[in-house]
Amino acid sequence: MRNSSAKCLYICSLLVTGCAADIFGKTYVEINSNLSAATTLTVHCKSKNDDLGDHTITSTRAWGFKFRPNFFKTTLFFCSFAWPNEFHRFDIYDENRDECTECIWTVFPNGPCKLNETRGINFCYPWKASMQLGRKPLM
pLDDT tens readout for residues 62-107: 999 999 999 889 999 999 999 999 999 999 999 999 989 999 999 9
pLDDT tens readout for residues 3-47: 666 564 545 444 444 444 446 699 999 999 999 999 999 999 999
CATH value at residue 73: 2.60.40.10
Query: How many domains does the chain contain in total?
Result: 1
Q: Is 16 helix (H, G, I), strand (E, B) or coil?
A: helix
For residue 77, being part of any structural domain is answered with yes
The DSSP annotation for 33-102 comes to E-S-TTPPEEEEEE-SS-EEEEEEEBTTB-EEEEE---TTS--EEEEEEEETTEEEEEEEEETTT---SE
- Residue ranges making up the domain that contains 64: 25-130
For residue 9, being part of any structural domain is answered with no
For residue 4, being part of any structural domain is answered with no
pTM of this prediction exceeds 0.85 = no
For residue 14, being part of any structural domain is answered with no
Cα separation, 21 vs 13, in Å, equals: 13
For residue 18, being part of any structural domain is answered with no
